[in-house]
Amino acid sequence: MKNIAVLASGVGSNLEAILEAVERGEVAGRVVLAISDQVEAAALEKARGHRIKALFLSPKNYNSREEYDQALFDQLKKTQVDLVVLAGFMRLLSTYFIRSFPLQIMNIHPSLLPAFPGLDGVEQALNYGVKVTGCTVHFVDEGLDSGPIILQEAVPVIQNETIMTLQQRIHAAEHRLYPIAIDLFCRGKLQVEGRRCFIFD
């Protein structure tokens, strides 16, 4: 069974969706650790509520992003983590960290990548006037939301949509999609060739 660590900075709604999917037996892995860079992140409490080890790692204790990522790496290796899942983790990861976990870091982004990468993907899509947006689960590489795409789900933009209503519907899609992608990884069903991620039965 694969060991999963979740990195989160905020509310932790995706973390909770993943934990609930694991408890329902829908993910062939187990979450062994949750780490946050924010001491008051609700995600930590959510993890503890599911009896998952929760750790606050303060960036103030380190002189650089690389030093912080080294400490992060040490914690993950100590816990023998197979997959690192980003769930609203608001720090950019260093090249060192990403190269330490090749094709073992997943992220979810609130748009249909490669459209609207970076911050405020929902607002970008709404302002652009698209009729369809959605969410994307992808492997993390050294670019900005540019790693191989694992799964996507489309969300239509309805009339009189606001950022908040669209965000809520995209979040609902994320909560469905992320556990599926994690389960595929845990069951060895993903294979990356170049930019393409293939899914095998």
Catalytic residues, which ones? 109
Question: Which residue's structure tokens are 């060991």?
Answer: 3
Task: Say how many residues make up the chain.
Answer: 201
Cβ atoms of residues 5 and 33 within 8 Å = yes
Angle between helices 13-23 and 42-49 (to 10 degrees): 10
> How many other CB atoms are there within 10 angstroms of residue 181's CB atom?
25
> How many other CB atoms are there within 10 angstroms of residue 42's CB atom?
16
